[in-house]
Structure 1
């Protein structure tokens, strides 16, 4: 790296050191009651993209040492208040460092998910498959970006909201794992490998998918109705693959609602137990199904969309059937369309 390329980094590190010195001087020369040391959290947030994990931990330790030194050197004020402020400042520094490291780990996980997607794209010549995988992974990756931006906003406040930032980071880690899981499951499906079936709570899995789509639903002024049973026995299926199906049906329903007037946009998800199987229903009041469409909806490469390729519902059917269920569609009673699919119930031995 040339000196001109190194110079911006050197200047930024020098600026960080200067800010730390200013915070130390202010914290030392003011009364115990002034908790200037909490602004070391800004230093940590600034440095997280510039240095590695070890250097960031050393920076955290340096900030803590400076905080303690300021308490010792402060000449006046209420010592008890100073001790309380020192404890709060150190806790904020440590928590901010932990959150910053988790945020970088989440970003790395997201990049790994994207890298896996690119590797799959290189080894397949079937455009429909790669587009379908990208379509399925797009939801968790979009959620990662949204949660990451929210986390940065919470941490950048004058008084960082550490709890909200921690919650955002937990969502990032969960969505990054979900993206990687989706890629692995779709790849297994195309290779003809059996799904990884295990007992899980269908209603909980549906809620997770709906949460990822909340921003899209709200943006298009769609009224969502969740009528989940809440008392269903566990489903016996591949949870990630089932969530792929729910996400695809949900996205199709949202797209079908866009051409209708905002006041008429209704989306309903309901679950129940029927004939020894679990049943999930996704109903919309969108443009509906034209005559003859139902016979071809789940055919590979058949689509009614101008820019569609017709693989989403085909893969959804393959997933549901591979997990021992059935999927079908019918016109809605109030217009629009209704998609339903079933899953087997986990017996006592499997659930245990």
Structure 2
């Protein structure tokens, strides 16, 4: 009720000032024509509070000074003073002190509210800057992967063409990978544009083994260059999932490249990557990727998916955060756990697509 009245007075300051004058007049008359031992002037505190709800600081100070002056005037105008004059003076001083303290506290509260508003403004500005930086880093991270793959395939194509005799077949395969990665980069940009417009992801029925096959073909150059032995164990007759092919491919690419980087200090003959895809009950598809790297420290396990947290010197700390967001937006879950004999296992689950009804 009070807040509604305060908002109304702010919108109509003229009516608010008229109300203050009426209140001060009523209190002044009551204080003047009542006995001195009754401290009616204390009610000027209500006037100060009312003024604080819609007047600026200077206005509150002026109202407080006027209320104090009216209190003194009432003291001398009150009839039948006599022996009660001293008691009336004490009550007047108490009332003036109450007016002063109330005005001081009101001004302190106004200053605190201004400081809080400024702090909220600064936080909002910082949040916008942080969001812009996070968006920029996210775009750079997602675009960097296909660009790096294009560079790797281009180098491979050049090596096969410079080979004596030139290996045209492998060079053509490298060129095809470059074309696929250019398409993937374009799809990432298109998806970012859709996200900026709050458009829905392009969800279709997908065979996850096909998505994995495309990813492994693109990552083949990195696997060979780092001498990583890959073994895949994909269950037969896997159910389809409903998802965005580009997004899910981006998650798998990120997990594979992270695993390759994690095994850089592992001896060449021990760099093994095991990929499993199984159907879980009820209606779940589970992907897991096990590496033979150094594993996950307790701190890494706790902060692995935190935005901008990374153990890589040149990492952005966004890959796993983005990947988890993608999987969760598909109704799944992404997590990490230690492997049995060192290394780490990254897993995600996705709900299986509902079975299609046979056409009649």
Q: Same fold (TM over 0.5)?
A: yes
Residue 272 of structure 2 is matched in structure 1 by 266
Q: How has the CA–CA distance of structure 1 residues 127 and 174 changed in structure 2, closer, same or farther, with 3 Å as cutoff?
A: same
1:239 is aligned to 2:245: yes
From the superposition, tell whether residues 165 and 181 of structure 1 become closer, same or farther in structure 2 (CA, over 3 Å): same
Does residue 213 of structure 2 align to residue 203 of structure 1? no
Match of 2:340 in 1: 333
Q: What's the CA shift string for 1:162-203, capped at 9, x where partnerless?
A: 776665554443322111112222454466543211111101
Structure 2 vs 1, CA of residues 341 and 262 (structure 1 numbering), >3 Å: closer, same or farther?
A: same
Alignment partners' CA distance in 2, 1:266 and 1:292 = 24
RMSD, aligned α-carbons: 3.2
Scaled by the length of structure 2, the TM-score of the pair is: 0.56
Are 1:305 and 2:331 matched, yes or no? no
CA distance in 2, matches of 1:165, 1:141: 18
CA pair 219-192 structure 1, distance change in 2 beyond 3 A: same
CA–CA distance in 2 between the matches of 1:274 and 1:335?
25
- State the number of aligned residues: 230
Aligned in 2, Cα 1:175/1:249: closer, same or farther, shift over 3 Å?
Answer: same
**Structure 2 contact 202–244 (Cα < 8 Å) conserved:** yes
Distance 2:306 2:164 in 1: 55
- Structure 2: runs of 5 or more not aligned: 1-128
Q: Point out where structure 1 has 5 or more consecutive residues left out of the alignment.
A: 1-122
Q: 1:265 offset after TM fit, Å?
A: 1.4
Comparing 182-191 and 150-159, the one that deviates more: 150-159
1:290 equivalent to 2:297? Answer yes
1:48-98 Cα offsets, whole Å, 9 max, x none, are xxxxxxxxxxxxxxxxxxxxxxxxxxxxxxxxxxxxxxxxxxxxxxxxxxx
- Asked if the contact 2:141/2:316 (under 8 Å) is kept, the reply is no
Q: In 1, distance between residues paired with 2:245 and 2:158?
A: 31
Report the Cα distance in structure 1 between the residues aligned to 2:180 and 2:357, rounded to whole angstroms: 25
Higher deviation after alignment, 141-150 or 173-182: 141-150
In the alignment, what sits opposite 1:343?
A: 350
Q: More relative contact order in 1 or in 2 (CA 8 Å, sep 6+)? A: 1
